[in-house]
Structure 1
């Protein structure tokens, strides 16, 4: 089988974007901009990862969306996309199980301050017991530091479950998710049942960095919007749109945002602007800053 040339690669990627991107008008604008660059020969000398980087940069210039990307994988991937999302979901759940459902560390810090280092937002169904076990371990602390500085994404259902632990019941409307392909909106509310006690009437600090992304931003943004947490650290990366992945070649995948999150409090989301911290400090100082304040204000002496 002949290797696709750059014209075929970019045409295929743009076809997926036009067909699936959550904002059709913006997709059309990006399509025109990239085809003009292609016709001008801007990609003729590029290949592999360099091509993907250039196309991604130009896509995001035409349509500012951090999830809109052309990705290079060194290892060849299957060219045939699954008939449904079952295979992708199975792969995601297998990864979550291998990574302890994103829960990297649980600790009781000085002053009886709880600490959770969460690096991915797992699926609510598969990860409920792991999230519950972590929350059980910090249930009797006087304040909690939720560290999302290395959290780069995950599942909306898991974000809703994490947020549910910090809100009082199942009557809090968190956000809505609009899906272009079905022209439908799914509402996310706090959950009525959780495997561990809710963490109420005590302060929560969410730690962020410039690499906190997607599902991690969802948790930070939602808790901040509901006045339930203080965000300490850096402005996050700014990706609010769930995506679909489409193979273009054995080494290239295009990611296409197919849905849009709308927060019930703000009426918008963090796309392109990130979650703005209440206390802006360098990411490497966020833990120390939040712990010192929590220990002085709320900790056991």
Structure 2
């Protein structure tokens, strides 16, 4: 027990042990030197480094003898210059913190290469929840690029949807290779829309070396964004917005445009420095500091429902049919709760179907099938919760008591069930 307590105390004292070994001005000098040496714009990098050295000489960082606090203070100070700047300290990094590596293929595969959910929503609207843009190499056979296989598989599942929502609200970025490839799934192969990155070494492009083989250039596309949407996810949103190929729904993105990597500077410290900066061939600029503005602004938590509504409304306008219209009706349903007495008047046995009132709602049971919860569209018309393309209409007498119900499907099928004489009571 005593040994365990001593070990815990030792762990808690790690930052304290570093207190006396850390010299804030020396650390700041190494950060400034890395920025001066690596920042994509040599002139701007020199300006940032000079200003940082002046702050250090003035004593602005002298009080931060705790290395973690110093790293946080430097990050806060530098973020105003470039949203990708980030200073870190790790007790496990030793004297020369190595440049942080990207996730291994095993780590990426366990995270399904950033693909959290692939789903077909009511009305044949596709949904892709993408948490980061996984890297892959165009120079290898596609069968040897699992990240590319994963996104291809997702797009294949979504290959017959009438509209698509891509959720980037919790996507912090990733690889430009995936950005270009996924964007190419929605634009013509020769579209000049991809960001070009300028660096000290020259210029590179986000255009995919091998674009998606079957792009859906007319598919209605909606991107869900928030203040947590960053870096490569912003690049994807910015590119497709400028190309007028997607409607952005949510809130302005984080505003981190310039890619780079961490550089070890010794003493357990590393600093992330932007080594490139994107330029859109359409806008001539990028989103650094400002973020990518949504086309339809709404709270991030409401972005999915709003995008669904927009997609379904467009499909209905273009004649997609009852599946889309019924799905839209259910999504925007605003009927007030049905009074308990009115629910009780609808409950009863309807031959093979039994309807009960419970917890302020109607529950429909048919044999051994799972029970269905009904939600009101109007006083006598309900839809199945989670299945808006299925409805239940009650035929009612003047006193509100029902005499029959109809099970209806958006494809036109109808099944009528007459209520039993005793009403199921």
Normalised by the size of structure 1, how large is the TM-score? 0.89
- Aligned partner of residue 195 in structure 2, secondary structure: strand
- 2:193–2:239 Cα contact (<8 Å) kept: no
Distance, in Å, in 2 between the alignment partners of 1:223 and 1:78 is 44
Q: Please, which of 46, 52, 59 is the counterpart of residue 71 of structure 2?
A: 52
Q: Which runs of 5+ in 2 are unaligned?
A: 1-17, 138-144, 325-425
Which residue in the other structure is 1:109 paired with?
A: 121
- 2:238–2:292 Cα contact (<8 Å) kept: yes
1:31 and 2:49 are equivalent in the alignment: yes
Larger relative contact order, structure 1 or 2 (CA cutoff 8 Å, min sep 6): 1
Distance, in Å, in 2 between the alignment partners of 1:122 and 1:23 is 27
Q: Please, which of 154, 163, 167 is the counterpart of residue 134 of structure 1?
A: 154
1:175 and 2:187 are equivalent in the alignment: no
Q: Please, which of 16, 33, 43 is the counterpart of residue 34 of structure 2?
A: 16
Query: After superposition, where does 1:178-197 map in structure 2 within 5 Å?
Result: 178-180=198-200, 182=201, 184-190=202-208, 192-194=210-212, 197=214
- 1:164–1:191 Cα contact (<8 Å) kept: no
Deviates more, 1:136-145 or 1:26-35: 26-35
The alpha-carbon distance between structure 1 residues 202 and 174, as it changes in their structure 2 partners (threshold 3 A), is same
- Give the C-alpha shift of residue 171 in structure 1: 4.5
Q: Please, which of 105, 113, 135 is the counterpart of residue 123 of structure 1?
A: 135
Distance, in Å, in 1 between the alignment partners of 2:113 and 2:282 is 28
- Give the C-alpha shift of residue 98 in structure 1: 2.8
Query: After superposition, where does 1:53-92 map in structure 2 within 5 Å?
Result: 53-61=72-80, 64-73=81-90, 75-76=92-93, 79=96, 81=98, 88=101, 91=103
Q: Please, which of 214, 220, 224 is the counterpart of residue 203 of structure 1?
A: 220
Higher Rg: 2
Distance, in Å, in 2 between the alignment partners of 1:129 and 1:44 is 51
Which residue in the other structure is 1:100 paired with?
A: 112
Q: Please, which of 255, 273, 287 is the counterpart of residue 270 of structure 1?
A: 287
Distance, in Å, in 2 between the alignment partners of 1:74 and 1:224 is 43
The alpha-carbon distance between structure 1 residues 124 and 163, as it changes in their structure 2 partners (threshold 3 A), is farther
Which residue in the other structure is 2:256 paired with?
A: 239
Q: Please, which of 144, 157, 168 is the counterpart of residue 148 of structure 1?
A: 168
- Aligned partner of residue 144 in structure 1, secondary structure: strand
Deviates more, 1:201-210 or 1:35-44: 35-44
The alpha-carbon distance between structure 1 residues 54 and 206, as it changes in their structure 2 partners (threshold 3 A), is same
- Aligned partner of residue 130 in structure 1, secondary structure: helix
Distance, in Å, in 2 between the alignment partners of 1:161 and 1:21 is 27
- Aligned partner of residue 154 in structure 1, secondary structure: coil
- Give the C-alpha shift of residue 78 in structure 1: 7.5
- Aligned partner of residue 174 in structure 1, secondary structure: coil
Distance, in Å, in 2 between the alignment partners of 1:248 and 1:121 is 28
The alpha-carbon distance between structure 1 residues 172 and 32, as it changes in their structure 2 partners (threshold 3 A), is closer
- 2:184–2:211 Cα contact (<8 Å) kept: no
- Give the C-alpha shift of residue 189 in structure 1: 2.6
Distance, in Å, in 1 between the alignment partners of 2:90 and 2:286 is 30
- Give the C-alpha shift of residue 293 in structure 1: 1.7
- 2:179–2:206 Cα contact (<8 Å) kept: no
The alpha-carbon distance between structure 1 residues 32 and 210, as it changes in their structure 2 partners (threshold 3 A), is same
Aligned residue pairs total 291
Q: Please, which of 16, 23, 29 is the counterpart of residue 5 of structure 1?
A: 23
- 1:169–1:190 Cα contact (<8 Å) kept: no
Structure 1 or 2: more helix by fraction:
1
- 1:204–1:230 Cα contact (<8 Å) kept: yes
- 1:4–1:249 Cα contact (<8 Å) kept: no
Which residue in the other structure is 2:232 paired with?
A: 215
The alpha-carbon distance between structure 1 residues 162 and 31, as it changes in their structure 2 partners (threshold 3 A), is same
